[in-house]
Structure 1
Amino acid sequence: MLRKVLLVDDDPILLTALEAGLSSFHHSFEVITANDGFEAVKILEEIAVSLIVIDLVMVRMDGISLLQHVREHYPDISVIIISAMETKKMQELVSGDDIAGYLSKPFDINSLGRMILTPLESEARDGIMHNITPAVFLQLMEMDAKTCTIRILDKMSQKGGILYFLDGILLDVRIGRQTGIEAAYTLFTWDEVTIFIKNTCVPRANNINSGLQPIIMKAAGMKDESLVPVCAREDTADTSREPASPVLKKLSQYCEDSLLPIPNRATTALEQMIKMGADYGFGSFRGGYLKNDGKNDRVIAVEKQPLMLTVKSSTEKKEIDAIIFDLGKKQK
């Protein structure tokens, strides 16, 4: 998944030329554009941006005002300043560690492309990892007492976040305008991400004040609620819920009363088993018992969609087997 670079200029002809000229760098970053500072502010709220190219002189919300907004809300984003002014004049107007470079108009587009690559490469100088689960990887950062800044891009939502670790302690998280513990909860609901690692962290306040395990557990609960809003209990007072199916009613005698989300990888495996049964004449796959030495055993039943529940410790496996077997007979 590529990082995104935002170009902000009120000259539409220049924006078009820059977008076309920077297409030669399409393997390294993706370009998005904004016609003025106000449009850029809206984009930053919705899209994960790694670097911004800002024209200082614009009719609506000039570059200096936009830069102040970025520094207040997105201090981790690097900025390149462009203007018809001389470089020295630009440096007098704006300076700071977040400024990755200055270019006076007119300039060579390839020079801008190379200038963009420098902070992006610096951000990922200590490694890039693709298609991993953030909870597993970030717990390793905590265990190894790592000091680093990590940018994360989520494949599913196309959103992005940034995390700050100091000696294995997660200090802060940002996703768009969301920061702190709430941003951490959101980030840990993501399943498949790309990670860019930089083994430095700018000193900052601890806005998390929690180890990773409680955050991961809370995020798992949030994911449960968003994926499976229907409860197996018959005596619920919430009449807006769908009625429990007969097989779910039977399972509820032997299982905990809340459905569990089925991980993406498990869903893929189930689909393959269902397909294999149909392709090779084995019959329909209707369910199974996931054994874990009596601790948090799981049962999966396939009706209109797969359902997963936690088996009560007092339940014997044969009681679950009978329900699944009965479900298979009824579906023939």
Structure 2
Amino acid sequence: MSTEVSLPVLSPKDFASDQEIRWCPRCGDYSILAQVKKVLPTLGIPRENFAFISGIGCSSRFPYYVDTYGLHSIHGRAPAIATGLKIARPDLQVWVITGDGDGLSIGGNHLMHAIRRNVDLKIIMFNNQIYGLTKGQYSPTSPHGKKTKSTPFGSIDHPLSPLSVAIGSEATFVARSVDVDIKHLTMVLERAAHHRGTAFVEVYQDCNVFNSGAFEFASKKDQKLDNCIYLEHGKPLIFGKKNEQGIRMTGDGRPEVVNLDEVNRDDLLFHDEKADDPSLAFQLARMRWPEAPEPMGVFRSVERPTYDGELNEQLDAVIEKNGPGDLEALFNTGDTWEVT
């Protein structure tokens, strides 16, 4: 007699909560939400086995809008809370929803350590290069010279590159997409969802109120093919409306733009997302428009043991050797004293 339990067939509508979505009209968050709800039912996971953890910011309203378990936590601490949940409930698929302000300012430390530990989390960072919820102050990713309410004469900070931070922290999966590039974003989210370990995805998200048009170079159909390189594993880095340009490495190890009619195709840089050495992925993450075409897609996807997996294996081994333990006995072990 078969004991297999068939899971109900789910659709994006099954992941839509009854909460009113409270983002500004035309905000890029709507598109990201729609693509996540499109991906979730394809994973073969019951709704009760998903958890969405967020911090503070416009993006962090996300858990209200998906009909799964979730927690709207505190500023910057979502990776730490999600780590604890994944360790306690390894059966859950845990997603972290954060923004460039939430994840890279007060939350930078927590984000970095979750990534380096390779906790099995799906971290989606909405990057709009501004603080939207608090009404338009500059953020850690705002470009130099950006005039905002908190930098009326222009920002003098050097902006952080989220992907550089992730790759520098030895992330096992790193990717980038754009909010309105529906097909590409769906592909990236699917790849992240199936990755075992920390999957870090940066999504360029338009804040049409406080930083409108920041990513038009990568979202406008008549511009993006000339301004972006779409990474494919094992294929050369080629871009342009007619695929007329490419990237090759110079003698001193720097990427440079070349015309394909002037070079041999085999001399181009071929993308290797499986490379154990993250240095090439880091170089690609440093390519920024308008100085260079900006890469989109999966920069790195490698396998490494997960923190939560190794920790639970360690706990199981200790329990098998020493027994389950006695908390009361532990409290009364060693020097004790009584306060009267």
Q: TM-score, normalised by structure 1?
A: 0.30
Pick the structure with greater CA Rg: 1
Q: TM-score, normalised by structure 2?
A: 0.30
- Tell me which protein shows more strand as a share of its residues: 1
**RCO higher in structure (CA 8 A, sep ≥6):** 2
